[in-house]
Amino acid sequence: MTTTTSTSTTPQDDATSLRRTAAFVREHDTASLLPRLLPGLAGPELRALARHCRFAHAALLVFPPDLPTLHAQLAACGLAFDAPPVPSVVVRDRLARRHGYDPAGLDLRILRPTALGSGRERREVEVFALTVPPGSPLAPVADHERAHRHEAHLAFEVDSADPLVLRGLCALLARHGAHADGGGYNPHEDGTVLYFTVPADAGSAYRRLELHAHGEHPDILAAHLGDHPGHHAEIHHPENDRPENHRSENHRPENHRSSPPPGETLLHLLTGAWTTQALAVCARLALPDALDPDTATTGEALAERVGADPETLTALLRYLAMLDVVTEHPDGYRLTGLGALLRADAPGSMRSLALMYGGPFYQSFAGLEHTARTGRPAFDHLFGENHFDHFARDPELAGLFDQSMAASSPMFEPLPAHPVLAAAAARTTAPGSAPGTVVDVAGGNGELLGRVLAAHPGLHGILLERPHVVDAARRRLDDAGCGTRCGYRTGDFADIPAGADVYLLSRVLHDWDDARCREILRHCARAMPAHADLLIVERLLPDDGSFSLATAWDLHMRCNTGGRERRAGHYGRLLADAGLELLGHSPLPLGAAVLHARRAALPAPARPPRDTPAHATAPAG
């Protein structure tokens, strides 16, 4: 057992901590806390993080002499609670490990009193309480924990349980110095928690941050725990799991249920195509637009609204309920937050993606065997022409494709704050300086360029695209108020405008094989002046074989365009072949990354030997 010299402590120490924590919860909000926890977080990145998660509670560990004393302290702080204290497991076990105690001998309880924010928003103070009567041998433990506050943390509730959003949030936290620090899934409250430690220079006394998301996200949790060197220390025995445990009392998924038999696992994998088609048909029938999140609608009424067979539609709705797209109630079905992303008019709508992945891309992926055997795109084999020519000849399909590309725009949210763009904007503020110029090569409907120009009013933009896409981009950028600062050029990669300060290549290179990528990059290098920067947005294949969206997209690109995803080193070699140098890369949401390149420095000319006349090295004539 660990021995610690006891200092003079009284219950008032806990009362002071409770009062300060309650005041903290009431006074602070999401937008003010995040920059304090993550120094440097600002602008579009701060807005993106604040849009997807909200400050939910602050947690602390206290040591009252008895529970009535704790209740009186909570009441004195104006903290109201209805539910009785419930046992703790995870924090109890961490406490036992730190101090060498048997966990069974620590009666640690959890209370969750409510504390309203300044705008009357409901928050909580999460209180972990271990009773330590006067003269208890646990007094040194209490002294140590009060001094070091190991269990104090701030929790943020993730509003969307979309795994892509969660990956983006984790990437954004990592970008600003947060490190994985454990986590787990609580089956009793159906919530996944991801813990982080904040950077050492954070302007907050709290050193730990929690993201809490509804639902089970085993892949994300496994990746998160894999980044946490000590995560194996947080394994708990199944008999310690109790239904009353709070969401911050989490367990790794393998600890609360046994793994399914291999045959069952394989069967789930084999029927994955059914999920794709169910989501695509849901979008095609406009079911999300016909459903209401607050009022249940029967299958019969929905069938009449969307023009479907009632019995079959009800079977589809039951399947969608398994996917958490809808919820089933005695009086019908309601739309979930996940399902709302399939509405045509939803912010960040992913309906177009569902139609693409359940339509032409679904058909081409069925030709994966052709691609695997020949190395050639299944899309060309199926449709008799390449992906780009086929879409260009069908305006409706081309529009759907452009919309699907825009549906992945959350990956762009941190990009306007990239140091390269910030530096280009700063140069324009110098007296007498000309506006900096950003060229978006094959920039689609202008989603990325619009974000950059909106974030940096001193910059001008040029968008290079096909004629019909340029027209759509012009309308979009005009509507966004950036049109007066943007020029447009129709053409191919050979038409990249010269003399700009920053060049953007977003999700372009993965469309092509290596030979075509070198050609595109050479066009960029010829257009770039010596001071210019090139930013490339792509998904990167991991070097260690870990889980990555890029691994799936690699097969997708090979089937559809003949392109592929690549590792950072592979891009570095392609850049070098084009006379460019990869300077580094950093993560973006949705499993993406931004690579930074510049023109490679020319080698210094060799000096002639000392006994050789200088003119001997000059070219003849």
> Helices 467-479 and 447-455, interaxial angle, to 10°?
30
Q: What are residue 582's DSSP bridge partners?
A: 597
On whether both 380 and 417 belong to a single domain, the answer is no
Catalytic-labelled residue, pool 510, 570, 585, 615? 510
Mean pLDDT, all residues of the chain: 82
Beta strands 580-587; 592-599: pairing state: antiparallel
On whether both 195 and 300 belong to a single domain, the answer is no
pLDDT of residue 508: 95
* CATH number of domain containing 433: 3.40.50.150
Ranges 124-133, 218-227, 274-283: which has the least confidence: 218-227
pLDDT of residue 506: 94
- pLDDT-derived band of residue 563, with 50, 70 and 90 as boundaries? very high
On whether both 171 and 211 belong to a single domain, the answer is yes
Last residue within a domain, chosen from 387, 405, 423: 405
On whether both 145 and 214 belong to a single domain, the answer is yes
pLDDT of residue 432: 62
* Helix/strand/coil percent split, the chain, to 5: 45, 20, 35
Last residue within a domain, chosen from 255, 288, 316: 255
Contact between 510 and 553 (Cβ < 8 Å): yes
Tell me the one-letter amino acid at 58.
A
On whether both 426 and 395 belong to a single domain, the answer is no
pLDDT of residue 227: 60
Q: 199 lies in a domain?
A: yes
Choice between 287 and 88, residue whose per-residue pLDDT is larger: 287
Kindly state the average pLDDT of the residues 433-448. Answer: 89
* CATH number of domain containing 31: 3.10.180.10
Q: 118 lies in a domain?
A: yes
pLDDT of residue 542: 87
On whether both 176 and 76 belong to a single domain, the answer is yes
The three state secondary structure string of 76-88 is: HCCCECCCCCEEC
On whether both 156 and 115 belong to a single domain, the answer is yes
Q: 604 lies in a domain?
A: no
Ranges 48-62, 341-355, 392-406: which has the least confidence: 392-406
Global pTM? 0.57
Q: What is the phi/psi pair of residue 108, to 5°? A: -95, 130
On whether both 189 and 205 belong to a single domain, the answer is yes
Does the pLDDT at position 434 exceed 50? yes
Q: 620 lies in a domain?
A: no
User: 383: domain range?
Assistant: 267-405
Q: 271 lies in a domain?
A: yes
- Residue 188 annotated to the active site: no
pLDDT digits (tens, 9 = 90+) for 524-535: 999 999 999 999
Strand blocks (E) in 451-551: 460-465, 486-490, 502-506, 533-539
Q: 610 lies in a domain?
A: no
On whether both 180 and 222 belong to a single domain, the answer is yes
On whether both 482 and 567 belong to a single domain, the answer is yes
Q: What is the phi/psi pair of residue 574, to 5°? A: -65, -40
Taking the mean position of all CA atoms in its chain, how far away is CA 15?
38
On whether both 378 and 421 belong to a single domain, the answer is no
pLDDT of residue 238: 28
Distance (Å, rounded) from C-alpha 350 to C-alpha 355?
9
Tell me the one-letter amino acid at 458.
G
Q: Write down the residue that tokens 């004629």 correspond to.
A: 467
* CATH number of domain containing 345: 1.10.10.10
The string of DSSP codes covering 177-230 is: T-EEEEEEEETTTTEEEEEEEPPTT-SSS--EEEEEEES--HHHHHHHHHT-TT
Choice between 244 and 20, residue whose per-residue pLDDT is larger: 20
Contact between 60 and 152 (Cβ < 8 Å): yes
- pLDDT-derived band of residue 430, with 50, 70 and 90 as boundaries? low
Q: 612 lies in a domain?
A: no
Does the pLDDT at position 96 exceed 70? yes
Last residue within a domain, chosen from 405, 429, 457: 405
pLDDT of residue 252: 35
On whether both 52 and 191 belong to a single domain, the answer is yes
pLDDT of residue 189: 61
Q: What are residue 214's DSSP bridge partners?
A: 191
Q: 1 lies in a domain?
A: no
pLDDT of residue 205: 81
Contacts 24+ apart (CB under 8 A), 80-87: 80/113, 80/114, 81/111, 81/112, 81/113, 81/114, 83/111, 83/112, 85/109, 85/110, 85/111, 85/129, 86/110, 86/242, 86/244, 86/245, 86/246, 87/242, 87/244, 87/245
Cα dist from 182 to 109, 210, 221, 250, whole Å:
21, 10, 9, 9
H or E segment and range at residue 108: strand 108-111
pLDDT digits (tens, 9 = 90+) for 359-405: 989 999 999 999 999 999 999 999 898 888 888 788 788 777 777 77
The domain tally of the chain equals 3
Q: What is the phi/psi pair of residue 155, to 5°? A: -110, 140
pLDDT digits (tens, 9 = 90+) for 168-227: 888 889 888 899 988 887 665 667 889 899 988 887 888 899 998 888 888 888 888 876
Residue 15's SS3 state is helix
pLDDT digits (tens, 9 = 90+) for 251-266: 333 333 345 678 877 8
Contact between 236 and 251 (Cβ < 8 Å): yes
Q: Which of 267-281, 381-395, 491-505 has the highest mean pLDDT?
A: 491-505
The string of DSSP codes covering 351-382 is: HHHHHHHTTHHHHHHTTHHHHHHHSS-HHHHH
